[in-house]
Structure 1
Amino acid sequence: MLNVVNCLSVKILRALAALLLMAAATSAYSAPKTVLVLGDSLSAEYGLSRGTGWVALAERKLKENNIDAVIVNASVSGETTSGGRSRLPALLTKHKPDLVVIELGANDGLRGLPVVAAKANLLAMNEAVTKANAKVMLIGMRMPPNYGRDYAEKFFAMYGALSKEIKAPLVPFMLDGVAEKPQLFQPDRLHPLAEAHPIILANIWPTLQKAIKAK
């Protein structure tokens, strides 16, 4: 009789253990992924009503497509690659993202800062993200021609080279289809109007969606 009781006890314990493992696996699978957007004014809704920028539009698109992910927008107007590099560690600790979308460099370029310095900062950010067990997605930018052809070409090429080096997905130019249309910009000629942000999202979305599903 005792052996029968012991056998039943073992079976019950095994069944409970299996149920706990299944519950843990289900919980891990169902946990939404966290996407951290680290950008400048182009992602921080500068001059726009809240909820009209591409990041907010991306959040809605995630829900529409039943993609279980949340976006934390840590973008700051005027941010440079140096500023993003200094802010990133605390953001990684606080939000524990699965994917970090880096949209930085435009302000470096507008200030004529060395391309090599911007790349070094982006490399350091990728290293920090990798150590935090997350992945990087890059969003590139072009400089206006008045900054000099050589500088503009080196600046743009930096993103492609970096993407290959760190094996990160890249959106080459977020303002594709916008930059050449002055009517889509605010009076400062630097920041797109709300009407331009669906176009910006259309440039970003295919890469973002793939990056989220890949993580």
Structure 2
Amino acid sequence: MFKKLIYILLIALIFIVISGERNLNRIQLSDENALHTKTVETQSLPSTFSTKLTSGKPVTIVFLGDYVTSDDSLPDGNLNHVALLANWFNKNYPDQVKIINAGMNANTVSHMKKRIDTDVIKHAPDLVVISTGLNDALGAWKIPVKEYAANYQAIVEAIVASGDTEVVIRTPNPTTSVEYNVKMKSYIQASRELTSQDKVYLFDFYQIMADDVHAKNISQLDLMQNKLHPNIKGQAYLSEQFKTYFTSEIIQP
């Protein structure tokens, strides 16, 4: 009887240890879960922009965004991802691609909505790349996510309605703060959901960078100038990921 009791106690102890290990794993994964967000199914690949580009016709790309996009996003005149991409396009498609940087420091999607006519539509772009969300979710404005989604939707609809223009939604980069990333989740998801409509496509940079960080392919701290914004290496990383996206998803031979 005594031996049977000891046997039962040992089984119970093993069960407790296994349960504890599982709970510990859940806790250890909390930082990673804060980075990862729900994905959505997106439209098929753009066609008009790619066709014009590969057939040798001139095209115009406008980058609409906040500080990460703006010309002054790096110190000492270093080239950010937009300028690096402009050089890449010029090398591969000489004198064919016009790049317009419509990024502006301290902008939310509400600010961008007010200037799309003058800074985007007037250029009759073939492709518009939009990125916003850091200031909306984390800046001084604290734009409610419903307002963010509505204004973002209005921007996309105005651009698409203006002509034969396609739109790429670029999700913003993860921050170095778990708390900030949690706050951004609903904004990231709202951005992704915009890509369910025609002529609107997704470059999910947030998820790409999050996956690379957690796979230990990159050190996030090495790529950031502060909690929110990429440094010189981070902008170069963004440019390289954008090239991969353009060549694998946008530009079709």
Q: TM-score, normalised by structure 1?
A: 0.74
Alpha-carbon distance, 1:71 to partner: 0.6
> Counterpart of 1:80?
108
Between 1:131-140 and 1:90-99, the stretch displaced more is 90-99
> Counterpart of 2:179?
146
State the distance in 2 between where 1:55 and 1:37 align.
7
Asked if structure 2 preserves the Cα contact closer than 8 Å seen for 1:41 and 1:76, the reply is yes
Alignment RMSD (CA, Å): 2.6
Question: Is 1:39 the counterpart of 2:71 in the alignment?
Answer: no
State the distance in 1 between where 2:249 and 2:127 align.
8
* Structure-2 change in CA distance of 1:180 and 1:171 (3 Å): farther
> Counterpart of 1:115?
145
State the distance in 2 between where 1:155 and 1:94 align.
28
Question: Is 1:104 the counterpart of 2:143 in the alignment?
Answer: no
Alpha-carbon distance, 1:158 to partner: 1.6
Amino acid at match of 2:122: K
* Structure-2 change in CA distance of 1:211 and 1:48 (3 Å): farther
Alpha-carbon distance, 1:84 to partner: 0.6
Q: How does 1:1-215 map to 2 (within 5 A)?
A: 31-44=57-70, 45-66=72-93, 68-111=96-139, 112-133=142-163, 134-141=165-172, 142=174, 144-147=177-180, 149=182, 151-173=183-205, 176=209, 177=212, 181-186=220-225, 188-209=226-247, 213=251
* Structure-2 change in CA distance of 1:205 and 1:77 (3 Å): same
State the distance in 1 between where 2:100 and 2:113 align.
17
State the distance in 1 between where 2:121 and 2:162 align.
8
In structure 1, stretches of 5+ residues that fail to align are: 1-28
Alpha-carbon distance, 1:189 to partner: 3.1
Amino acid at match of 2:220: K
In structure 2, stretches of 5+ residues that fail to align are: 1-54
Asked if structure 1 preserves the Cα contact closer than 8 Å seen for 2:134 and 2:228, the reply is no
State the distance in 2 between where 1:93 and 1:156 align.
25
State the distance in 2 between where 1:43 and 1:154 align.
21
* Structure-2 change in CA distance of 1:152 and 1:206 (3 Å): same
Asked if structure 1 preserves the Cα contact closer than 8 Å seen for 2:133 and 2:188, the reply is no
Q: Which has the higher contact order (CA 8 A, sep 6+)?
A: 2
Asked if structure 1 preserves the Cα contact closer than 8 Å seen for 2:166 and 2:199, the reply is no
State the distance in 1 between where 2:235 and 2:190 align.
24
Count of residue correspondences:
184
* Structure-2 change in CA distance of 1:153 and 1:90 (3 Å): same
